[in-house]
Structure 1
Amino acid sequence: MSLKTPFVDAMRAQPDNLALARTTVGRSLDTAVLAPWEPGETVGVVAMGASSHSGHALVAVLAGAGVRAVNLVASDLSAGAPGFQPADHYVIVSESGRSPEPIAAGRGLTVGRRIGISNFPAAPLAEVVDVALDLGGFDDSPVYTSGYTATLLAYALLLDRLGVVPAGPEVAAVPDTVAAALAEYDDVARRIAADVAGATSIDVVGRGTSYASATEAALMFREGLRVPAAGFETFQYLHGPMEPLDDHAVLIVFGDGRELTVPDSALTSGAHVVLVTTAPEAAIPSAGHPRLTIVPLAPGLGGLVRPIVEIVIMQLVMAHASETRDFTLEEFLFTQTDTKLDEQPTEVLEPATPQA
């Protein structure tokens, strides 16, 4: 496997990689012994970085199904008291399978209640989970593409197998849906990229499953374009964070509710605004404004498929914006020695005491 595939190549390979993940995750689930998620129990997502952002989507879908869930930052669990169990069941996610924080956390979580999701199930993460879901071992880019979208797909397949949220035909069609999105949204992504490439800051906003898209898109822009970017939940954004908007900023909004009127005030700042929505243009008060770009999603697009399509659109934007840079998306300025286990021989986080 490689995590050094050029971003554009990895992005374009997603339909094939997602088809592979659909097969390998399904095979993993066929042999898995899964503890049922009973009514009233809590599910905790345990991850870092991009995987942690994906957890927002899983928590939102579970909330919609009436299942209590929480997205836990893996490193925070090192501060827990011995035996502390913040949930009844855990989904521990590490695309590489080598992130030390989820691995350390997993050692202290309830045995028999730990489901791991990784592109490489034989990696160290496998030692601290009870069920390992295999994304397929495909090559990915340093700024994750398939690793992120395949994780969202794995969530959908897991929820279906547990009988929590039926997958439906749209989940099986995810590889084809992504192939269509890569073609359909390329032109509008190129137009958006012209503004993104020149921005001094980028705010990304959404709620529910789209909050995952907001936080992950912001991380991608920071990593890949080296532009200050931040992701916000829609209503949190209205409570002050939007104040720095000016004519050098770009605001990207995902959603169909209050999100439709967020551009109204934002456009008065001179900022360029992008609205990604399933709503008809007639429902958008600022439609037609020269600095508003509306990106229409298919009506009825929802569940965990929607954030997959949303992030693919943002990947296209970043790929085109990167063409203006004198560095590649594969070059990171700052190399950390402790974000992957086999890269750091020094101290790792101390786990909590396991609870059987």
Structure 2
Amino acid sequence: MSYRSTIARQPQALADTHAAARAELAGMDLSQLDRPVIGVTGIGASFAAATVVAAELQSKGRRGFAIRSDDMVHGFDLCDALIGLSHRGRSVETVAALEKLPSAGRLAITNDPESPLAKAAHLHIRLANGSDATPSSTGYTATLLASGLVAQKLAGTADAFAGLPALAEEVLTTAGAKMERLGKLFENRRAIDCVGAGASLGTADGASLLIREASRIPAAAYDTRHYLHGPMESMDAATGVVIFGAGRELELAKHLQTIGVPVLLVTTAEDIADGELLTVIRVPKSGNLIAQGVIDIFSPQLLAAQLSDQAGLTDTKFRYRMSDTKVPQPEAA
């Protein structure tokens, strides 16, 4: 299935995952996760999702942290409970992270209950996003949604995700209307930075990976405040910046425009409008940081598809396939 078609399928993928994960969680005892320090881990886009999930746990008063899987394979005692994210459940590093923490409560979120990651965990939540493409679209957003249902059950809060399928349709339409303009402004960039704070740093990380994978433009992610302390110095009229947020990010977006840098700002703020080089995509505000992460990623997904098409790379397969990143599938008998 093509990248654009999987982006378009997200309202249904989110609805299906919400129903499946909610049903599983209804009868699940999460006491093994209800511990002082909760780690969230993954690799690639799943680590970007882990950053979003950890921020939501922190906002609810929990000591939740995104931990890189590679930091956990040495067996250090870094957390009391661990949530492992992997769409297919076969990422070597994430499986090893769960296996190296036998004393911690472990939950895996994948689309395969028979996957190596599911088997390395005490508990498993199944994604029901259907097919995905590369770069990941439905796999990433479904992972966030299922993680969000886990986080809200731990916090004892109301369901913030039931309305996401309808919001997805709305935001994809709103963002899609800006893509022709963004395609012209971001064409032939030599680099694109993606910037956000807190949970939005995870969204920025996910966006930078989408741009790299879909359009092969060098892209990187930065925390908003860190970005102001030097990294933005190399940006100019040959580059672009994608920003997520409604605080200091507004001034940053305006400043970058004044020095000639094309900017996409994904924001809940009402008091900022498009400029000559600034394109604003206004999105609904959610009180849940994970739900907001789902809402915010739709715009960079569409931007990556737009830039991919313009570069003649529509649905081009990855050039670099490493042999040691996935647990091998067992051979059929």
TM-score by shorter chain over 0.5: yes
Say if 1:322 and 1:69 are closer, same or farther in 2 by CA, change over 3 A.
Answer: same
Question: Is 1:274 matched up with 2:270?
Answer: no
Equivalent position of 2:70 in the other structure? 75
* Match for residue 172 of structure 1 among 155, 162, 180: 162
Question: Is 1:119 matched up with 2:114?
Answer: no
Counterparts of 1:106 and 1:76, CA distance in 2? 12
Equivalent position of 1:254 in the other structure? 244
Question: Is 1:153 matched up with 2:145?
Answer: yes
Counterparts of 2:146 and 2:196, CA distance in 1? 22
Equivalent position of 1:16 in the other structure? 12
Question: Is 1:204 matched up with 2:194?
Answer: yes
Equivalent position of 2:89 in the other structure? 97
Superposed displacement of residue 184, structure 1: 2.2
Counterparts of 1:192 and 1:210, CA distance in 2? 21
- The gaps in structure 2 that reach 5 residues or longer are none
Superposed displacement of residue 256, structure 1: 0.9
CA deviations 1:51-90 (Å, max 9, x no partner) are 000011111111111111111111221234xxx3211111
* Match for residue 237 of structure 1 among 200, 223, 227: 227
* Match for residue 295 of structure 1 among 277, 281, 284: 281
Counterparts of 1:11 and 1:204, CA distance in 2? 20
Say if 1:37 and 1:93 are closer, same or farther in 2 by CA, change over 3 A.
Answer: closer
- The gaps in structure 1 that reach 5 residues or longer are 346-356
Counterparts of 1:165 and 1:221, CA distance in 2? 36
> Is the contact between residue 56 and residue 288 of structure 2 (CA under 8 Å) also seen in structure 1?
no
CA deviations 1:30-53 (Å, max 9, x no partner) are 3423225557x0110121000000
Counterparts of 1:137 and 1:8, CA distance in 2? 15
Secondary structure at 2:177 match in 1: helix
* Match for residue 316 of structure 1 among 277, 293, 302: 302
Equivalent position of 1:140 in the other structure? 132
Say if 1:16 and 1:248 are closer, same or farther in 2 by CA, change over 3 A.
Answer: same
Counterparts of 1:188 and 1:135, CA distance in 2? 30
**Structure 1 stretch 220-229 or stretch 150-159: which is displaced more?**
150-159
> Is the contact between residue 189 and residue 314 of structure 1 (CA under 8 Å) also seen in structure 2?
no
Equivalent position of 1:353 in the other structure? none
* Match for residue 59 of structure 1 among 51, 54, 57: 54
**Structure 1 stretch 219-228 or stretch 64-73: which is displaced more?**
64-73
RMSD, matched Cα: 2.0
Equivalent position of 1:305 in the other structure? 291
Superposed displacement of residue 142, structure 1: 1.9
Identity score, percent = 31
Superposed displacement of residue 112, structure 1: 6.2
> Is the contact between residue 197 and residue 322 of structure 1 (CA under 8 Å) also seen in structure 2?
no
> Is the contact between residue 337 and residue 343 of structure 1 (CA under 8 Å) also seen in structure 2?
no
Question: Is 1:334 matched up with 2:323?
Answer: no
Say if 1:78 and 1:145 are closer, same or farther in 2 by CA, change over 3 A.
Answer: same
TM (norm. structure 2) is 0.93
Say if 1:219 and 1:27 are closer, same or farther in 2 by CA, change over 3 A.
Answer: same
CA deviations 1:165-214 (Å, max 9, x no partner) are 5243x411111111222222211133213222321110110012211110
Equivalent position of 1:25 in the other structure? 21
> Is the contact between residue 21 and residue 135 of structure 1 (CA under 8 Å) also seen in structure 2?
yes
1:222 partner letter: R
1:58 partner letter: V
Superposed displacement of residue 344, structure 1: 11
Counterparts of 1:66 and 1:31, CA distance in 2? 24
> Is the contact between residue 82 and residue 104 of structure 2 (CA under 8 Å) also seen in structure 1?
no
Counterparts of 1:76 and 1:344, CA distance in 2? 27
Counterparts of 2:40 and 2:54, CA distance in 1? 8
Counterparts of 1:153 and 1:299, CA distance in 2? 16
Counterparts of 2:93 and 2:113, CA distance in 1? 17
> Is the contact between residue 191 and residue 217 of structure 2 (CA under 8 Å) also seen in structure 1?
yes
Secondary structure at 2:322 match in 1: coil
Counterparts of 1:31 and 1:124, CA distance in 2? 23
TM (norm. structure 1) is 0.87
> Is the contact between residue 120 and residue 134 of structure 1 (CA under 8 Å) also seen in structure 2?
yes
Q: How many residues align?
A: 331
